[in-house]
Amino acid sequence: METVTLTIKSQPVLFLEADNITPDVFAGKSAADIASLHAYEGRDQITLGKYFDVAGKAGATAADTKIVVKGDVSRVKYIGMKMSAGEILVEKSADMYVGGWMQGGKLTVKGNVDAFAGLGMQNGELIIEGNAGNYLGAAYRGDWRGMQAGVIRVKGNAGSDIGTFMNGGTIIVEGNVDVHVGTHAEGGKIIVKGNGKSKIGGQMVEGEIYVFGTIDVMMPGYKYIEDVDLEVDGVKGKFALYHGDLGERHPKRKGQIVYGKLYQKI
């Protein structure tokens, strides 16, 4: 695997839209080719070389390419957008849309990310070692397909509206989350190892939500079913199972109504 290192030279005045920072676009390119790829600052089209020093070279394919992003890129959007293979390592914090519509490969951010990370994610692995913003693994505005498959792991906390319209894949938040978890979900699994607030599983049709900590206010459409023993992300324990959202439509499978499942650790 070949490695390309991008080091930010100066901070953009406005924000940088850098949807070309992906193994797919870099594949087969030299450092000079990569430096001449375009990015946008407002309506100005600029080159990546204006803000980044580029070292190393890319592999022949996306799968053979690793990108290391050094320096503070908290004013850079769209890192890893639509990447299908290979690896990206962001050493500090990044802005919005990290791993948006990602299709494969592995993307790690050591710092924090702003909103819309893993938006409409189709596959792959997204790891945020700091905190994530709102709309993690959610759907783009108006789309009914949030996260489809793959794994998102956040070691810190996450914001509101995570997993909106989710229908596959797994989101694990090791810290706490803000309001609205898995709203409109039709599948997938969300694990919150810290505390939840309220509006958890609202309008959920199908899917699973696990909350290890507290829930401030439960949605009225959740009905207690039973206690179950489970192992969730390496943690064994007893969980109270609720079915819901009873205010929402639910499909029938093999003569049985399928509900969303909310598990709270006891």
Partner 1 sequence: MTKSVTDVICPFCGTLCDDLEVVVSDDGKTIVDVYNACAIGAEKFMHAQASGRVTRPRMQQPDGSYKEVSYDEAVEYTAQMLAKSKKPLMYGWSSTSCEAQSVGHEIAEQVGAIVDNTATVCHGTTLLAVQDVGIPSCTLGEVKNRADRIIFWGCNPCHAHPRHMSRYSIFPRGFFTNKGHKNRKMIVVDPRNTDTAKMADIHFQIEQGRDYELLSALRVALRKEVLPDTVAGVPKEKIYEAAELLTSGRFGIIFFGMGVTQTLSKNHNIDEAIMLTKDLNEFTKFSIMAMRGHYNVTGSGQVLGWQFGYPFCVDLSRGFARYNPGETSSNDLLRRGEVDAVFVLGSDPGAHFPISSVKKISELPSVAVDPHITPTTEVAKLHVPVAFVGVEVGGNCYRMDNVPIDARKVVDPPEGVLTDEEFLTRVNKRVKELMEA
Q: How many residues lie near partner 1 (CB under 8 A)?
A: 37
> Of the candidates 10, 142, 231, 256, which one interacts with partner 1 according to CB under 8 A?
142
- Tell whether residue 79 is a contact of partner 1 (CB under 8 A): no
3-state DSSP assignment of residue 32: helix
CB closer to partner 1 out of 64 and 248: 248
| Region near partner 1 per CB under 8 A, out of 1-9, 11-19, 60-68, 146-154 | 11-19
For partner 1, the binding residue among 4, 6, 17, 189 (CB under 8 A) is: 17
Here the contacts of 172-181 (C-beta below 8 Å, separation 24 or greater) are 172/233, 173/132, 173/136, 175/131, 176/213, 178/134, 181/209
Q: Report which of 36, 45, 43, 38 is spatially closest to residue 19, judged by C-alpha positions.
A: 38
Number of Cβ within 10 Å of residue 175's Cβ equals 17
- Contact between 251 and partner 1 (CB under 8 A)? no
* CB of 62 or CB of 190, closer to partner 1: 190
In the bound state with partner 1, the residue whose beta carbon lies nearer, of 68 and 246, is: 246
**Helix, strand, or coil (residue 34):** helix
CA geometry: angle 135, 148, 155, nearest 5 deg: 50
171 touches partner 1 by CB under 8 A: no
Residue 246, token pair as written in the block: 């009873």
Site string for partner 1, 32-61 (x = CB under 8 A): --------xxxxx-----------------
Span 113-132, contacts to partner 1 by CB under 8 A: 115-116
Q: What is the DSSP letter of 266?
A: -
| Cβ proximity of 101 and 38 under 8 Å | no
CB atoms within 10 A of CB 40: 18
Q: Point out which span in 25-33, 55-63, 105-113, 195-203 binds partner 1 (CB under 8 A).
A: 195-203
Query: Of residues 214, 233, 247, 251, which one binds partner 1 by CB under 8 A?
Result: 247
Closer to partner 1 at the Cβ: 96 or 172? 96
Q: Is 86 exposed, middle or buried (0-12, 13-18, 19+ CB in 10 A)?
A: buried
Binding site for partner 1 (CB under 8 A): 13-15, 17, 40-44, 96, 115-116, 134-135, 140-142, 144, 165, 179-180, 183-184, 198-199, 202-203, 217-221, 223, 245-248
